[in-house]
Every structure is written in C-alpha cells, then in structure tokens.
Amino acid sequence: MADTRFDTTVSTTCGYCGVGCNLEAHTRAGRIVSISPGMGPANRGHTCLKGRFAHQFTRARDRLTAPLVRESGTFRIATWEEALDRVASELLRIKAQYGPDAIAGLASSRATNEECYAMQRVFRAAIGTHNIDNCSRVCHSPTSFALRKSLGLSGCTGSFDDIERAEVLLIVGANPTEAHPVAGARMKQAALRGLQLITADPRRIELADYGVLHLPVHPGTNAAFLNGLAHVLIRDGFVDEAFVAERTTGFETVAELVAAYTPDEVERITGVPAADLERAARLYGEADRASIAWGLGVTEQRYGSECVQLICNLALMTGKIGRPGCALLPLRGQNNVQGSSDVGALPDTFSQYRSVADEETARMYEELWGVSMKRERGLKMQEMFDAALDGRVKAMWICGYDIAQSDPDIEHVTAALSSLEFLVVQEIFENETSKFANVILPAASFLEKTGTFTNAERRIQLVRAAVAPPGAAKTDLEIFQLVSERLGHPLPYAGPEDVMAEIAATTPHFAGVTYERLEGRGLQWPVAPDGTDSPILYEERFEQPDGLGRFAALPYKAPGDEASEEYPLILVTGRRLEHYNVGTMTRRTGNLELLSKDWLEIHPEDARELGVETGDLVRVRSKHGEIAVEARVTERIDPGHVFTAFHFPEVRTNLLVGPSADVNTSCPEYKVIAVSVEKVGAPVEERVAAGVA
C-alpha cells in the first residue's frame, strides 16, 4: 500500500561519502520532507545522520537559483542566455588569444559519472586541452597510483561484504565511524561478532574501543610501520611461498629491504610498541581471511602513494587477495571520487585510466568526437594554480569544488584565482571560491538529478531525481551541453543514459553497463559485455601485462614536515561525524545544531604544559599561517599531536597546510603539519558572559 503521507518516494544513492548508501527520498508538494534508508548492498537498510537527515540544504534560502554575473565588482542576476553567452565568448576569446592550454577545469567528485565524463569531453573536444582534474588529486590519487602500479586496477579489490567475511581487519589511517559511518557500523558489528579489529592511527578512534589492538602510529611514519609488519610476517614464516612464486614478482628485493625494519627499530620511528607490532603481524598472518582498510591518514602524506604500495606488499606476500574476506579496501571520501576519475576527469588519462598518450585510445576518441588532440598530459590541479600565477593559465571553470576553503596553502590558491582573467564557478551555493568568479552558474544537487555514482567498492549505482532543481538551476550535464554547443562542439546526448552508453561503448571495463542492469544492486566494474560484474578482483591473475602482482621495495623516508622547537606539535586534520567536507550542505541543515563549531583536540600532557583547558581559545600557528580555535582536552589524541577538522570556513584550518605533497601524485600532506599552540584567552563561555566574545 502506498504511503499517503508522501506524494512520491524515489530510490536514489546518497551524495555524501563514498560508501554509496541507497536512500528512499520522500516528497510532498515538490519538496523532500523525509529520507529513509533503502536496502542497498552497501548499507543494508541503514544510513547515517547525514544521509538520512541532512537534506534540508536543498531548500535553503541561499540556494543559487539563477545565474550571476560580475559587474563593477558586484554580482547581479542574469538570464541563462546572457550568462552562457558570456562564458562561451570569454573562453573562445582566451583560446584564440592564448591557446587552449590557457584554460583549465576542475570537475566535481560530487557530480555524476555522466557529468564528469561530459566535462572532460568539453575540455578535450570543445576547448582542446587536457587541463582537466578533480578533487581525487587531494585525497585518493595516491591510492589510484599505487593500486595500478602494484596490482593493475584503480579500485578496491573486493567489497564491503568482506568486512563480515574476514577474521581480521587492519584499519590504517582512517576513522570509519565518523567519515564513513555505515561502513564503520558494519565494522563495529562484525567486531562484536568476533572480527579481530586492529586500528593504526595517531588518534584513538572509536573503533579502537571495539578492537583487539590499537597501534598509535606517529603521523608521517606509516612506511616504517608497514615495512615492520612485513619484516615480522617474513621472519615468522607467514609468507605464502606458492602464491609469491606463482603470482608475483619482486619479493626478494622487498625481503632484503625490510630486514632492517626490526620491531625495536620500528618502535623508535613510529612509537608503536615492538610487542604490539609483532602481535598485529601475527594476527594478520595467522588468519585465513584478513582484509586491510585505509583512508586519508595514509594517502594525504608526502609518501602516501608509496605507503599504499606497501599495504599491497602485505596482501601479496601472504596471498590474502583475490578471495572472499581478503580485500584491500580504500575508503573513498566523496560520493563519486572513484567515478570521477574512472571516467577520465584527469589530466593524464581518458576513462579506465588509459593514458592520453596511448595512440589507439586517443584515435578512437578523435574519430568519435571529430577532433584532434595532443598526446601530452595536461596540468594537475596544483600546476594549474602555479600556471595561473605565472600567466600561462588565464581562465578556469570550477564545478562543485570549493578550492578556496578545502585546498592546502590557501593564500597560494586565492592568489591564483585572483590572477585569472576569467573564472566560472558552477555550484549550488555561493562559497569562498565563488567570491573570485566572473560568472556563477546555479547547479542541481544529487537529490535533483539522474545519473550514476561509483562507490568505494567500484559499484556503479543509479542516482534518481527526487525533486526538480530550485528556480532556474540546471543539472551539471545540461550546463555542459549548453556551453559546449556555444563553443562549437554540441554534445549529442538526450540525457544521462546516452552519456553512459558512450562511456560503455568506449570503455572496456564499462562495456556491459546499462541503466536497466544497474537496477537493484548496481554493478562492480569491470563489467563484461553480457553484464557480468566483478565483486572480487584478481582471483586468477593481476591486471599487469604479465599477470603478476608487483612488490615495491620502498624505504621509510621522513615526512615533509617535522616537529621542531618553534613548532613542537604535529597537527592532523580530519572529519567529524555530523558534517561533510567543507560543510556546504550539512551546515545548512539541522546537523548544525548537533555540531555548531569546531575545536582543537589536545592531549592532557600537552595541555598542562601549555596551560590550556577545555574551552580556551588557542592560536595555532604553522610555517604557513595561523588560526584561532577552541581547545578540547582529550586522551583520544596522542601526546605531541593535535587534531581538528575543516568543516567551518570561519576557522580556515587549511591556512596551516603548506605545499608539501605526495611525491608521485601531488596529493597534499594534510596529515603532518608542525604547529605551535598557545592560549589566547579565557574559556569561551567566560568571554561570552563578559561580553568580549
């Protein structure tokens, strides 16, 4: 029987984190009034307080509902025709005057696969440049790089179901119950049923309370920790010699390298007690089925991509890959950070991570699109900012990405934006980045569009519009089509399903993907032409030319930043349960009542030395900037370290983050920032009472 409280109920996929929960969006009078969890394969009838309750942003008073153009330093409302004509004319002018590579774009990992694919086609075919990137550059590009190098494909080797199938789960540099709550809940439930959970993190995360072992790894020392685990696995006879001999290459070099990473030496570097390191290795080695999950605490470091390769080493040497319960699970941060890269919104690859220098692939797209393209890669995101400052990039088009709040070295980013001749921002709200725009285009949110997202399991799932975009706002796909037509390259799509048909026709791993086949559980790529998908990768061979997994002999190297006399503490940044990324959506919902401000976590030992108490306002300084934030004394963070999030623009946490980045992918080192902390004033409550705050 239909629920008469609602006009419609639409099944869709959540647009917050990369878990990919199925949601049932209930509407009345054209508005979303309630959301309940659906029975999707990732969430199994559960969802978090963001997915279920944080939907009020769709009807927030400050939603962008009409195009805005800058005139005499201020914005005014414009018609779509006027705004689109201005965008196209400026892009064409800059292309003619400076060449196509003077234009750069950033796609959104909140947008659908179809929209990200369409945007990269606009840049490559309509504008003529490979200068297209997305936010995976600053979060999971190290994982993508490493998985391709070690195993062949850029994705999780199994699924969330492997959480329940495993006997042991090692979690490194991730806080799933806050950043990926439904996956975190599955881990918690599995631990209560007997899963042996090992957590490795400078904070004692909630899951540590459900685990058998917590390892307080100092930020920036993951490589020593992982090589130490490999040392013990080899020393104590946990190597699957048959698997190593038949299915891998390079083991001997790794064995030689990790011989020096004794438990005592690892304790000296990482702070992890030698006995605990040995116990963790034994738990993982003895288990028949063991999985490893990791997050930004691994990737957002100077050697993040190398550390993911070292994680792969552990699975390869023990043969714990390619079978149930033995998954490598990178916990993707944004809802479609996996998919935005899968479909080619990157400067060096087309869809399926095929190089722009690959002649066969490039010619296929040239024939399909009726254009010619370079064979050299475009600019990565950070290179775009450098190029803007030195005059090589004159225009940018940024879709659904608030780089002026979320990216590192903010003063460098804002200086780059200020130097542009033309900036178009495509968003659902005005934000820090749109302050620099010449044109702002109002876009649809995930609850107002149709398409697909790809979650952390490589699972492609349908997204369905529950309500119409507000006012004159349009979907990103519609906007790309309207601009591309004005640029002289019409996109021949009647809708998002046509875009997916083109992706499937040009991308072997998507060959069997159709909207009809995605109904229900979605499909995990690679998807064969007959629709058969791949819940488990590498059951028989790795996706390398010789079919072999590749060990990586990579030593520990010091991080880009270290504590000093002037900056004695190490800051780690991350997320809170109640909010998502820079808070664009969640701060416009009831979630703001649950968490209305941020704070700095500091250990009691450090707090005593600094004379700081919970509620005090403190100044946090790094080599790159300073912020003021309230302190909270807690034993959740280890001595010598502090922690805060980045959900509130007034705090501007990323002012503290410098240019240090992953050596292979340019992913910023958000997780290792040397800072000083000093008390500014009395507790916040006292200052408010006195009328001085």
Burial of 217 (0-12, 13-18, 19+ CB in 10 A): buried
> Are the beta carbons of 613 and 683 closer than 8 angstroms?
yes
Distance CA 663, CA 427 (A): 31
Q: Which fold has domain 141-330?
A: Dimethylsulfoxide Reductase; domain 2 (3.40.228)
Q: What is the pLDDT of residue 651?
A: 80
Q: What is the pLDDT of residue 682?
A: 61
Distance CA 455, CA 335 (A): 6
Which tokens sit at 637?
Answer: 């963070």
Give residues with Cβ within 8 angstroms of 361, minimum separation 6: 350, 354, 355
Rg, Å, the chain Cα set = 24
Burial of 328 (0-12, 13-18, 19+ CB in 10 A): buried
Q: What is the pLDDT of residue 203?
A: 92
Q: What is the pLDDT of residue 693?
A: 44
Low-confidence ranges of the chain (pLDDT < 70): 1-2, 682-693
> Are the beta carbons of 185 and 485 closer than 8 angstroms?
no
| Helix residue ranges per DSSP H, 287-409 | 296-299, 304-318, 337-342, 359-369, 381-389, 403-406
> Are the beta carbons of 414 and 404 closer than 8 angstroms?
yes
* 3-class DSSP string for 522-558: CEECCCCCCCCCCCCCCCCCCCCCCCCEECCCCCCCC
Q: What is the pLDDT of residue 595?
A: 81
- Residue range 77-136+335-524, CATH number: 3.40.50.740
Q: What is the pLDDT of residue 689?
A: 47
Q: Which fold has domain 569-689?
A: Barwin-like endoglucanases (2.40.40)
Phi-psi region of 519 (alpha: psi -120 to 50; beta: other; left: phi over 0): beta
> Are the beta carbons of 439 and 70 closer than 8 angstroms?
yes
Strand partners, 35: 25
Q: What is the pLDDT of residue 415?
A: 96
Q: What is the pLDDT of residue 389?
A: 98
Q: What is the pLDDT of residue 688?
A: 45
SS3 690: coil
Distance CA 449, CA 465 (A): 4
Q: Which residues of 665-693 are buried (b: 16+ CB within 10 A; e: fewer)?
A: bbbbbbbbbbbbbeebebbbeebeeeeee
Domain range list for the chain: 77-136+335-524, 141-330, 569-689
* 3-class DSSP string for 173-234: CCCHHHHCHHHHHHHHHHHHCCCEEEEECCECCHHHHHCCEEECCCCCCHHHHHHHHHHHHH
Q: Which H or E element spans position 459? A: strand 459-463
Sign, Cα dihedral of 664, 665, 670, 676: positive
Distance CA 115, CA 451 (A): 8
Q: Which residues of 179-192 are buried (b: 16+ CB within 10 A; e: fewer)?
A: bbbbbbbbbbebbe
End-to-end CA distance of the chain: 55
Q: What is the pLDDT of residue 140?
A: 82
SS3 107: strand
Q: Which residues of 231-251 are buried (b: 16+ CB within 10 A; e: fewer)?
A: bbbbbeebbbeebbeebbbbb
Q: What is the pLDDT of residue 684?
A: 52
Q: What is the pLDDT of residue 683?
A: 61
pLDDT digits (tens, 9 = 90+) for 480-494: 999 999 999 999 999
